[in-house]
């Protein structure tokens, strides 16, 4: 019979919020296999499944919308009152994609209670900024964690997104010159707990994070001030907004975004290596939370001020 349809990512939906620009996605069923053999037997004589812990992973350019979803310290979100969906858009044989309203698409949804969090933000000179978002399900005693729906309609993406790209990085109010790339890795430690013979996690949490900010720049003179590291009292990473048909929006327009912290003590900066031709130096900022303060803050619709 052969292939009748192909499917491509059509975005992640959390409640009523649609992250339409999903460049990459993974739908992980996360089934842990059970295999047993009788004593001395040459092949298994029992197979099954131990644990079911499905999760969605999406790389999206909807930076501001994704961070707006993270209501707990800008890190995670309790989705127990919402349905989380990943939509797969169908492509017709000998034609193009089916219209969104047609009943031809596939929808995967976490119908049980879920948790949403992000793991990494990346920006590189000349490319668009992206954020990695993860949604994982827990068993609530009523619904299976994951459902797959065939022959579904999907949401219309709506107006085109004006994405962000790299902006300047300021450390201790001084701009880091020649910035080429930026990565903010949250490194969350996620705990999934099952008990009482359950075959799916019934408890989810983020036990902690170990955030690391990395930047690559051409400012080799900065190494002189960072032989073993330097205390950071403030940092700001801007993200420059694109605009349709033209160059990036001017820094004076209040349309850009930023991550920042202005605490009295919020991190330690050091350089790791010099490589490439022309030479590039990688600097690394390990973040900590000031006493009684935030790990980082986020703002959108701001000017870029250096």
Alpha-carbon distance of 200 to 146, in angstroms, equals 11
Q: What percent of the chain has pLDDT over 90?
A: 56
Q: What is the pLDDT of residues 35-72, one digit of tens each?
A: 998 888 889 899 988 888 899 999 999 999 999 999 99
pLDDT reading at 141 higher than 90: no
Convert the pLDDT of each residue in 99-118 to its tens digit.
999 999 999 999 768 999 99
User: Do 257 and 299 meet the contact criterion of CB atoms below 8 Å apart?
Assistant: yes
How do residues 231-243 score in pLDDT, each as one tens digit? 999 999 999 999 9
Q: pLDDT grade, residue 276 (50/70/90)?
A: confident
| Average predicted confidence (pLDDT) for the chain | 90
Contact 79, 55 (CB under 8 A): no
Question: What residue segments make up the domains of the chain, in order of their start?
Answer: 6-30+49-302
Q: Residues 64, 16: contact at Cβ < 8 Å?
A: no
Q: Which ranges constitute the DSSP H helices of the chain? A: 63-69
Average pLDDT over residues 147-175: 89
C-alpha torsion sign, points 217, 223, 228, 230: negative
Cα–Cα distance measured from residue 85 to residue 82, given in angstroms and rounded to the nearest whole number:
10
Binned at pLDDT 50, 70 and 90, residue 21 comes out as confident
CB 60 within 8 A of CB 26: no
pLDDT over 80 (residue 2):
no
Average pLDDT over residues 222-239: 84
Whether the pTM exceeds 0.75: the reply is yes
pLDDT value at residue 208 = 94
pLDDT-wise least confident of 7-21, 179-193, 271-285: 271-285
Chain position carrying tokens 């990473």: 237
Residues 156-169, mean pLDDT to the nearest whole number:
88
C-alpha pair distances (Å), 301 with each of 64, 71, 177, 240, 293: 10, 18, 24, 10, 23
Nearest to 77, CA basis, from 189, 168, 166, 204? 204
Per DSSP, the three-state class of 171 is strand
Q: What is the DSSP string of 81-142?
A: TS-EEEEEEEE-TTS-BPPTTSTTEEEEEE-SEEEEEEEEEEEETTSB-EEEEEEEEE--SS
Give the integer Cα–Cα distance in Å for 11 and 144: 22
User: What is the per-residue pLDDT for 286?
Assistant: 94
pLDDT tier at 132, thresholds 50, 70, 90: very high
pLDDT of residue 111: 75
pLDDT at 1: 67
**Quick one: pLDDT band at residue 30, thresholds 50, 70, 90?**
confident
């Amino acid at each position: 019979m052969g292939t009748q349809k192909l499917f491509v990512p059509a975005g992640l939906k959390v409640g009523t919020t649609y992250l339409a620009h999903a460049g990459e996605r993974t739908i992980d069923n996360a089934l842990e296999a059970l295999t047993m053999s009788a004593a001395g037997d040459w092949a298994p004589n029992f197979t099954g499944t131990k644990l079911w812990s499905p999760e969605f992973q999406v790389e999206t350019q909807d930076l501001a919308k994704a961070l707006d979803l993270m209501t707990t310290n800008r890190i995670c979100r309790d989705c127990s009152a919402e349905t989380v969906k990943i939509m797969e858009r169908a492509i017709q044989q000998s034609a193009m994609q089916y219209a969104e309203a047609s009943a031809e698409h596939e929808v995967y949804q976490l119908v049980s209670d879920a948790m949403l969090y992000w793991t990494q933000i990346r920006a590189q000179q000349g490319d668009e900024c992206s954020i990695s978002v993860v949604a994982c399900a827990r068993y609530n005693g009523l619904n299976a964690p994951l459902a797959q729906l065939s022959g579904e309609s999907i949401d219309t993406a709506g107006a085109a997104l004006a994405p962000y790209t790299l902006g300047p990085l300021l450390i201790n109010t001084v701009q880091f010159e020649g910035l080429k790339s930026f990565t903010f890795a949250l490194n969350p430690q996620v705990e999934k707990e099952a008990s009482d013979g359950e075959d799916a996690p019934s408890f989810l949490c983020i036990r902690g994070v170990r955030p690391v900010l990395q930047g690559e720049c051409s400012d080799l003179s900065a190494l002189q001030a960072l032989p073993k590291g330097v205390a950071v009292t403030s940092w700001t990473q801007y993200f420059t907004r694109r605009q349709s048909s033209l160059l990036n929006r001017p820094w004076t327009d209040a349309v850009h975004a930023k991550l920042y912290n202005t605490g009295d003590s919020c991190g330690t900066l050091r350089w790791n290596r010099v490589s490439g031709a022309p030479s590039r130096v990688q600097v690394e900022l390990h973040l900590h939370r000031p006493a009684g303060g935030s790990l980082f803050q986020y703002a959108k619709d701001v000017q870029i001020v250096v």
